[in-house]
Each structure stands twice: as C-alpha cells, then as structure tokens.
Structure 1
Amino acid sequence: MPTATADPKRRALGKGLESLLPQRPAAAPPPPPTPAVAEPTGKPLEIPLDQIDRNPYQTRSHFDEAKLSELAQSIAASGVVQPIVVRPLSGGRYQLITGERRWLASKKANKATIPAIVRQVSDEQTLEMTIVENLQRADLNPIEQARAYQRLSNDFKMTQEQMAIRTGKERASVANFLRLLRLPESIQQKVESGDLTFGHARTLLALDSPEAITAAAQKVMALSMSVRQTETYVQGLINPEAKEKKESKADAQPEDPNVREAQDRLRRTLGLKVRIEDKNGKGRVIIEYSGLEDFDSILTALGGD
C-alpha cells in the first residue's frame, strides 16, 4: 500500500492562510493579587506580621528589653495567648492599635503571623484604646501618662473631665499628671527613668521656678530622700521661718526633769538624737538615725536581731 505523503500545495496553502490571518496577541500575564484586607468580624485572625504597621498614637516610648526577650521565648514555645487589635488600612495593610509588646516579641521570636482582631475605628478611638490599654496595664511611666493626656487634649480637644471619663480615672488624677509637664525637661527625664517617683515630682511642683525645682530635685536624689522627707524639705524652702521654729521646738528640752534625764540617758546610750514628747505621763519616744548602721544599733539596744 503506497505511503501517504503530504501534499506540497496543501502545506503552502496552510502557510498562506497563516500569513493572511492576523496573529492574536499573546495573553498578558494576570496582575499580582492584591492582598485582601480582612473584614472586621470581632474574631481573631492570623495576620502576617510584615503587614502590620506600628501604632503612631503609641504613648509608650520605653520597653524593657529583658522582659521583651522573656515574652519572645514564651511566644516561641506557646504562641500568643491574647490577640492583638488592629485596624485595616489601604493596600492590604493593618495598623496596630493595642498589643505592641506582643507584636514586637513575636517578631523577636521569628513568627510569621500573629492572632489579631480587626476593628474599624477612627483616629480618636485608636488613641483612646491605646491609652486606656496602657493605663490599665500600668505600662506607662508618669511622664508618658502625662504626654498621653496632653495628646488627648491637644489633638482631640478633650477636657480633663472627658479624659477622666474615657480612661476611667479621677479628674484630679488627670490634672496631677498633666501638671508634671510643668517640670523642667531634665527633671521630667529623671521621672521617666525612675530616679524620681510621681510623689517626688508632684511635691517639687510646689516650688515657684525651674531653677528651684532643679536644685531641689538634685538634692533629693543625692540624699535619697523619701517622698515624705521631700515634702518636709520643700516646705522648709517655701517657708524657712516655719522650719526654724519647728526645729527649735524639736530641740527644746522637756519640762519634766525626769523626762529630760531619761532623754539624755537614751542619747548617751544610743549615740543618736532622741526626743521624748511627754504630756501627763503619755507621749512618744522619737529616735532619729541617718543610716543602716545606726538602725542596727537601735535594734541591738532594743534586743532585736
């Protein structure tokens, strides 16, 4: 049986048709998919960490690196227990609202995703939620709290009463934190670092000039004064006459010679300043000490360990 061969004319005809018919353009590659933004559902979703932006309203500026590392180790072992809260942005991204420590620690633990609750909230609500979370967790130092309240006031025109209602604090407390921003910048830094407490700072505000506040704060820190000692010291600066009168009264000898003799005997025995305040057979014995050695001497004299 003869073998079939292709007809040269047929091949030519096919080639001619191809040359006559217009060529279809190659199909363009499909565009890359746009990351889908999760709809607010109130339920935790696993969201990639690299799609989450830091909260621009974050009021906390300091994080304890040691505690952050501990949290990262816990997350690496057991995951994130409490979801963070984010809000959707354009381009498939999210903005952190609350949970920055968990977000940072998850990055430190080399996690790819983090459980998050998506909420559709305004800038004002974002700032409120950030402040409230930090205040409730006591994560802010006094100056950070003061700046947070100031931001609510400046950015959203809230009154102290409104801020107190929104954050669940007393109005007087809000006012006291805001007053801290009247401190000189160098003293604010000492409060922020923990060298001075909120009580110290509030007491120093009774002084009338930045120079007086700075000088007093330096002495308070140098002598490691307690808040109560600071109050006495500041009152002495404000009213030196009252201080002198109080000191002269403290140095006055008891009227009863027996009480006076007992006071002198205690002073000689302890080698410390002792004052007995007696009224009709009732009163108190005040022993002043200036260090741990003196305190140990008092305990030993009283039969303590």
Structure 2
Amino acid sequence: MPTATHDPKRRALGKGLESLLPARPATPPPAPVTHVESNGKPLEIPLDHIERNPWQTRTQFDEAKLQELAQSIVVSGVVQPIVVRPLSQKNGEARYQLITGERRWLASRKAQKTTIPAIVRQVADEQVLEMTIIENLQRADLNPMEQARAYQRLSQDFQLTQEQMATRTGKERASVANFLRLLKLPETVQQKVESGDLSFGHARTLLALESPESITSAALKVLALSLSVRQTESYVQNLINPEAKQKKEDKQQAQPEDPNVREAQDRLQRTLGLKVRIEDKKGKGKVIIEYSGLEDFDAILTALGQEK
C-alpha cells in the first residue's frame, strides 16, 4: 500500500490548494525608529541620542555637585525627567535636543547610565530658548552674570519688559532691573563676579561709581583688602563724596562721645592753644596733641613742666 508521501493524488491535491490560496507575504522589515510624542508620560531615551541645548544659559557647572548628583542617580535613578524635543533622524535613529535638565543629563553620563527618562515635546526654537532661560532663572545656582545675560536675552529676543520677565520667572521687578544693570560693569569686573570673587552685593555697590576706570580701580581695591559688602558701600561713598568723609572724621575726632572727656579735651585745647584729640574707650585711650613747629612743641613741654 503506497504511503501518503508517495500518493500522486495527494500530491496533486496539495498542489491545487497552493494554487488556490494566496502566497503568504514575506515578513516586512522592521519600521525605522520614529519620534514618539509622550503626552506628559516619560520615555526612556538613550543618552547618546540626545544633543545639548545650543541656547543653554548656564556656562559653569560645579563639578563637585555634579558628581554628588551622579552618585545619587546611581543609587536612586533620575527622579525628575528631563524635557527634550525631537530632531531629524540620523542613521535611522531618533535624535532629540535637550530643552531642560542638562545637569541630570550630564550626571547620568557620569553615572554611566545608558538611558534617561524624558518627556518629549514638539516646540519651536523660540519656545526652546524661552523655556531654557526661564527654567535656569528659577534655579538658585546661576551666578549673577549668567542671570543678567539670561534676562538680557529675554528682553532682546522676545521683547519682554522687566515687568513681564518678573512675572514669568517669579522674581521682583526691582531684582530683574538690578541684574540687568550688572551688564554695565567693565568686562574685567564682570569676570570677577562670574568667578565668585565679587558678590552680587559688591557689584551692585560698585555701579554707583560713574566711569569704567573708577569701577575697575575700586574693584581691585575691594579684592585686595577683602572688603565686605558693607565696607565696600562705605568705601564707594567716600570716593563719591570725600568732603563728607573728612567732615565726619573731623567731627568724630573733635567731639568725643563722653561729655566729661569732651570737656577735658576742650580745656586742654584752651590751655595749650593747640589742637587736642582724646580717644577714649571705657576709661582707656590716648591724648593726641598736634603741633606745627618747634615753638608749639616747646609750649607743650612748658605746660607739662618739662621746660628746657
């Protein structure tokens, strides 16, 4: 009895079925990677598929704090997703551009992560620039010059008023104005503010001086003497009004606070006919007698019973 494999009728039947049924299509090749709009839901995106933000306002990152963040990411991962926007594909791979979260992106690379949670948004160049600047201004770790330049870009690129910038960033309008004024500092002084050698308070005080030369000279003096902000304020005011400084010194020298000391000073001046200043602090101090020649000096010796 012939087996089924050798039955000519079965072979014909099989051939007939194949001719009636459509051929099975070949498995299609995998579709190229496309951008996915997350609608607020984070996606895990390869770090190497994300490009830096060309409009990033921040120019300096604290390496120690970046390393601390990297260690935290190793243990707990990235808690807050970054925000990116899609770019044109490259070699069949989806590409993205960073909008916000550069520190998390850099720290994830240091932590040797391969992906990072990200929210994808379809936004135009102008929106990216505005979102980047405003996010940075809402942080506390921008140096004063970075903040000043960020406000300047919002003003120039988006024609925002100081009031509008204050509203969008949650700052006081006066604070916005003060940061913008820092851009009037000479470049060398701006560099000292950016490096942290001069504080925002120092810089704002120096702006009371008129010329770039006087600001630069005063800044060098402040740095050399390590003056505090309050000391800098006094120093600048003395530069602006030296006569007031001299009058204040003369008044302090001529008028001791203690009325008994003041009376003793006046009596000595009448007796000697010379200028006398008593510096007293709680019963201790010194008596200073000013003389302008040998005759005055002899008069002092006579009064003290030391006549030649």
TM-score (norm 2): 0.73
The answer on whether the counterparts of 2:42 and 2:118 sit within 8 Å (CA) in structure 1 is yes
The residue number in structure 2 matching 1:141 is 143
Deviation at 1:255, TM superposition (A): 7.2
Structure number with greater Rg is: 2
Deviation at 1:238, TM superposition (A): 1.0
Deviation at 1:127, TM superposition (A): 2.3
Deviation at 1:112, TM superposition (A): 0.7
The residue number in structure 1 matching 2:193 is 191
Alpha-carbon distance between aligned partners in 2 of 1:55 and 1:259, rounded to the nearest angstrom: 69
Corresponding residue to 2:101 among 99, 102, 120: 99
Q: Flag the 1:267–1:184 CA change in 2: closer, same or farther, 3 A.
A: farther
Q: Flag the 1:255–1:79 CA change in 2: closer, same or farther, 3 A.
A: closer
Identical positions, percent: 77
Corresponding residue to 1:42 among 32, 40, 59: 40
* Range 89-98 or range 108-117, more displaced: 89-98
* RMSD of equivalent CA atoms: 2.4
Matches for 1:1-305 after TM superposition, within 5 Å: 33-91=31-89, 92-254=94-256, 257-260=259-262, 264-266=279-281, 269=284
Gaps of 5+ in 1: 1-29, 272-305
Deviations 1:13-42 (A, max 9, x none): xxxxxxxxxxxxxxxxx8885322121410
Deviation at 1:157, TM superposition (A): 2.0
How many residues get paired? 243
Give the secondary-structure state (helix, strand or coil) at the position aligned to 2:119: strand
The answer on whether the counterparts of 1:40 and 1:120 sit within 8 Å (CA) in structure 2 is no
Deviations 1:250-282 (A, max 9, x none): 222337542547x845277479xxxxxxxxxxx
Q: Flag the 1:95–1:266 CA change in 2: closer, same or farther, 3 A.
A: same
* Range 214-223 or range 168-177, more displaced: 168-177
Q: Flag the 1:32–1:187 CA change in 2: closer, same or farther, 3 A.
A: farther
The answer on whether the counterparts of 2:138 and 2:170 sit within 8 Å (CA) in structure 1 is no
Q: Flag the 1:178–1:31 CA change in 2: closer, same or farther, 3 A.
A: farther
Give the secondary-structure state (helix, strand or coil) at the position aligned to 1:90: strand
The answer on whether the counterparts of 2:137 and 2:150 sit within 8 Å (CA) in structure 1 is no
Alpha-carbon distance between aligned partners in 2 of 1:170 and 1:265, rounded to the nearest angstrom: 46
TM-score (norm 1): 0.74
Deviation at 1:56, TM superposition (A): 1.4
Q: Which amino acid aligns with 1:118?
A: V
